[in-house]
Copies of this chain bind each other. A is one copy, B any other.
Amino acid sequence: MAEHDQSKESLQESLQQVIHLLSKHRLVESLVHKQDMPRHDLVETLVHKQNLTELQKKLDELHPADVAYILEALPIEQRLLVWDLVKAERDGEILLEVSDAVRQTLIARMDSEELLAAAEQLDTDEIADLAPDLPQDVFQELLVTLDSQNRERLTSAMSYPDDTVGALMDFDIVTIRDDISLEVALRYLRRLGKLPDHSDKLFVVDRRDRLLGVLPLKRLVVNDPELSVAAVMADDPVIFHPEEDASEAAQAFARYDLVTAPVVDADNKLVGRLTVDAVMDFIREESESEVLSLAGLREEEDIFSSVWKSMQNRWTWLAINLVTAFIASRVIGLFEGSIERIVALAALMPIVAGIGGNSGNQTITMIVRGLALGQINMHNMKTLFMKEIGVSLLNGLIWGGVLGVAAYFLYHNVALGLVMTGAMTLNLLLAAIMGVGIPLLMTKLGRDPAVGSSVMITAVTDSGGFFIFLGLATVFLM
């Protein structure tokens, strides 16, 4: 029995083996290049070939997802060498598994024929996932090879935006009628001989393909075979529509513990199905991109992409940040006179700005999450707002007090200590107000509050913190 433990260890082990074989290969290559004696050549080429054969054998044994993992973990040059060794008929499956960035490096290596051959191995919904990365001419040729039903499915699947149910669904549906007995249904399945991956239910439709219910395999196997499908099926399954938001569908999948679910059009006609693995991939990608976007990375980055590509991925955020930092700098510039007179202000001001930024980010994370879950609404907004005000007021007085005392001991200036405490409290209040206000405003304007809210709050608490602290100092200390 293939132990899973082994299979996981072996994923790391496989990676190490591939790297080892690659390095042997490279060693031989460099020998061949350095030594020109023809006598050696033959031996070297043999060893060389042997290594590659071993490597190829190793790759053939691996699950497509594992080959994808190894490809992602290898620097470009070695990645392409390994890619060339992968059997052509597995190309399609593997392309589906790798990240977008790595997929582009692999596709760039393939000619039209190879790409066409790879795509032809795939199901229509899988082709739809791959299509945006394919060169236009390959895609056109591909369309020609499909029959009219699949061509229609492909164009319809591609017409749905990335974050809708339509983009996640597949077409591996097995349908039955409701007027047959379970016995007949079982005979039909035995004739079929195979069910699609993840099939946990059959879809019950009328003759015009309209969904009547679903027959879970569980019910099929535990019930009396004499009973009719209609008597045993669930007639109120959770259903989805292709144009629905994928992340809401994902929440529903988790909430109602679904494995597969039917997707129907406006006329209740069955058009596809959603499976838990597509939903799980979607959740993982979504949470990934949330973490990446918090750090200002535009998309998943191939860790071995060129310096130039990496910079493009990271520039937007840095540029925005440069602008906000520059504004904050100009706010300080307004008070250069005050700083010249009390230089301690320069040393203390980053504390006020920094703590405000942190506190604001905590508030905004809470609010964005509550909005995403739909748990924040007009009704409870005021309660929440008052709570955040309370937290920031207390934090400001306590931490601001501590810092005020610290400032007093450092600079022996009571007024400076009081200004410090006051500025901290006011900046934390500003952070709380903006931390609640920015996401709510963005939602009102119909924008996603998760995108860029962290940048905005930090910009406000930086510039605001400098302004409040230096402003108070100018008023009370000069």
Contacts and interface: CB of A to CB of B under 8 A. Distances in A.
Given A222-B193, A307-B394, A329-B348, A290 B292 contact: no
B257 A197 contact: yes
Given A326-B351, A340-B340, A383-B75, A333 B410 contact: yes
B374 A12 contact: yes
Q: How many copies does the complex hold?
A: 2
A355 B193 CA distance: 61
Interface in A1-48: 1-5, 7-8, 11-12, 15-16, 19
B297 A294 contact: no
A353 B355 contact: no
Nearest to A74: B380
Given A361-B296, A374-B12, A190 B5 contact: no
A314 B347 contact: no
Interface in A207-232: 211-213, 217-218, 220-224
A467 to B, nearest CB: 13
Contact of A221 (B15, B221, B248, B306): B221
B195 A222 contact: yes
Interface string A231-261: 0000111111100100010001111110101
A135 interface: no
B376 A303 contact: yes
Interface stretch (A65-73, A84-92, A137-145, A440-448): A65-73
Interface in A37-63: 63
A344 B355 contact: no
A375 B197 contact: no
A328 B8 CA distance: 44
A123 interface: no
Contact of A325 (B222, B330, B351): B351
A370 B462 contact: no
A218 B221 contact: no
Nearest to A238: B4
A40 to B, nearest CB: 28
A277 interface: yes
A138 to B, nearest CB: 27
Contact of A346 (B213, B279, B284, B332): B332
B240 A387 contact: no
Contacts of A294: 291, 294, 365
A109 interface: no
A199 interface: yes
Nearest to A340: B343
Contact of A283 (B2, B280, B387): B280
Which 6 A/B pairs are nearest by Cβ-Cβ distance? Answer: A287-B287, A295-B365, A346-B346, A73-B375, A2-B236, A307-B390
30 contacts: A1-B212, A1-B237, A1-B268, A2-B237, A5-B239, A5-B241, A8-B248, A69-B375, A73-B380, A186-B221, A198-B200, A254-B277, A259-B276, A279-B280, A280-B280, A280-B283, A283-B287, A284-B287, A290-B291, A292-B369, A296-B358, A297-B366, A304-B380, A304-B383, A307-B387, A310-B387, A314-B391, A317-B362, A329-B347, A330-B347
Interface of A: 1-5, 7-8, 11-12, 15-16, 19, 63, 65-66, 69, 72-75, 186, 189-190, 192-195, 197-200, 211-213, 217-218, 220-224, 235-241, 244, 248, 252-257, 259, 261, 268, 276-277, 279-281, 283-284, 287-288, 290-292, 294-297, 301, 303-304, 306-307, 310-311, 314, 317-318, 321-322, 325-326, 328-330, 332-333, 336, 339-340, 343-351, 353-355, 358-359, 361-362, 364-366, 369-370, 373-377, 379-380, 383-384, 387, 390-391, 394-395, 399, 402-403, 406, 410, 462, 466
